[in-house]
């Protein structure tokens, strides 16, 4: 009887260990996604990371980037950390928390400077800085972008939207619009649709038209150039290099394309020794010096810098 119980305990322990290892493999390493990409032959093509093609051109050039901050918990946030943007006027980061919908003002080290509730807002996902202390926040479930003015120092109370723009997009449940970016020079808003199907869309003349509804322009050829990316969690526009930065959670990858959608470079986000990979990448931002910032569910902050200085 004792031998039988001992065998049961060993088998139970082995099953529990296997289940835990399976959770780690899927949650952090996305091995299910990698296996699917390998089976389909969705590999990074020769058009990407071609240093000769882009020699002398202004790009971020992602292969040179490495983490210098990883898995740093953001104080006061338990879960639902979502979008990220760079405030170029005040040199700070802006982040959204999905539920309850709120905006965080962060330092470049991931420290929370202030937190503000977004009034009458739910399901806040992507965020983009518009300039002049104004931000756009994407509401996935409502297919809507709301514009807020950032609070002044010492502001108390919820932030109320100045206006809303309804996006004419089909309802895809929880696979709707996810990421948001803005090109101030050309007044163009960029949107990513996460999956089913993946999408990169843009809304020209976003601010100047002051419209209440907008029909985003789909850019399917941009998405077709990256079959190795199975979801599009976030997007950022880099005004210095005039390129777009895309973040994939499932494929554990950063992708850079130019403003015409041409492939430039990729980074598969390898974790440092002793660190777990990014569990659920949600938001990405880049500052004026080319430093890249990321956030992940539930409440994690990351920073990447060039391993090789740009000359």
pLDDT, tens only, 215-224: 999 999 999 9
What is the average per-residue pLDDT within 236-242?
97
Is the bond preceding 13 in cis, omega lying within 30 degrees of 0?
A: no
Q: What is the rounded average pLDDT for all residues in the chain?
A: 87
Decide if pLDDT at 310 tops 50: no
Tally the residues of the chain. Answer: 311
Other CB atoms within 10 A of residue 217 CB = 12
- Domains in the chain: boundaries: 1-41, 47-306
Indicate whether 206 pLDDT > 80.
Answer: yes
Does residue 187 come out as left (phi exceeding 0), alpha (psi in the -120 to 50 range) or beta? Answer: left
The Cα–Cα gap between 217 and 29 comes to 33
Q: Identify the helix (H) or strand (E) that includes residue 220.
A: helix 220-224
| Upstream peptide bond of 197 is cis (omega within 30 degrees of 0) | yes
Q: Percent of the chain beyond pLDDT 70?
A: 83
The C-alpha atoms of residue 189 and residue 249 are separated, in whole angstroms, by 22
Q: Which residues pair with 95 in a beta bridge?
A: 84, 104
Q: What does the pLDDT average to over 72-89?
A: 96
How many C-beta neighbours within 10 Å does residue 187 have? Answer: 16
Spatial contact of 267 and 66, defined as CB atoms under 8 Å apart = no
Q: How far apart are CA 232 and CA 259, in angstroms?
A: 17
The answer on pLDDT for 84 being more than 90 is yes
> Does the pLDDT of residue 195 top 60, yes or no?
yes
Identify the DSSP state of 209: T
CATH number of 47-306: 2.120.10.30
Contact of 204 with 211, CB cutoff 8 Å? no
pLDDT of residue 37: 45
Q: Is it the case that residue 2 has pLDDT exceeding 90?
A: no
Q: Check residue 43 and give its pLDDT.
A: 65
pLDDT (average), residues 20-40: 50
Instruction: Specify the 3-state DSSP secondary structure of 241.
Output: coil
Map 153-164 to HEC letters: CCCCCCECCCEE
pLDDT at 38 over 60: no
Task: Give the confidence band of 33 by pLDDT, cuts at 50, 70, 90.
Answer: low
User: CA torsion sign, 208 to 210 to 211 to 215?
Assistant: positive
Report pLDDT for 175: 66
Specify the pTM: 0.86
DSSP H or E run through 222: helix 220-224
Place 120 in a pLDDT band, splitting at 50, 70 and 90.
confident
Selected residue with higher pLDDT from 235 and 37: 235
Instruction: Determine the average pLDDT of the residues in 7-31.
Output: 55
């Amino acid at each position: 009887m004792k031998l039988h119980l001992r065998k049961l305990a060993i088998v139970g322990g082995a099953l529990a260990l296997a289940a835990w290892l399976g959770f780690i493999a899927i949650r952090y390493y996305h091995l299910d996604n990698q296996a699917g990409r390998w089976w389909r032959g969705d590999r990074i093509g020769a058009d990407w990371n071609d240093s000769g093609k882009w020699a002398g051109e202004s790009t971020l050039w992602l292969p040179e980037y490495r983490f210098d901050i990883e898995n740093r918990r953001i104080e006061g946030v338990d879960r639902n950390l979502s979008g990220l943007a760079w405030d170029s006027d005040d040199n700070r980061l802006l982040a959204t928390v999905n539920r309850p919908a709120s905006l965080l003002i962060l330092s470049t080290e991931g420290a929370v400077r202030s937190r503000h509730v977004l009034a009458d807002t739910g399901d806040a996902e992507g965020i983009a800085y518009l300039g002049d202390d104004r931000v756009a926040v994407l509401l996935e479930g409502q297919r809507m972008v709301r514009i807020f003015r950032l609070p002044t120092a010492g502001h108390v109370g919820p932030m109320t939207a100045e206006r809303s723009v309804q996006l004419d997009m089909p309802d895809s449940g929880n696979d709707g619009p996810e990421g948001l970016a803005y090109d101030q020079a050309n007044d163009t808003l960029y949107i990513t649709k996460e999956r089913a199907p993946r999408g990169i869309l843009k809304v020209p003349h976003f601010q100047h038209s002051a419209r209440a509804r907008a029909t985003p322009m789909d850019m399917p050829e941009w998405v077709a150039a990256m079959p190795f990316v199975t979801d599009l969690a976030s997007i950022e526009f880099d005004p210095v290099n005039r390129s777009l930065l895309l973040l994939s959670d499932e494929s554990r990858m950063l992708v850079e394309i130019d403003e015409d959608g041409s492939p430039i470079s990729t980074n598969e986000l390898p974790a440092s020794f002793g660190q777990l990979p990014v569990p659920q990448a949600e938001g990405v931002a880049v500052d004026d010096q080319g430093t890249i910032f990321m956030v992940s569910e539930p409440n994690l902050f990351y920073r990447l810098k060039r391993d090789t200085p740009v000359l």
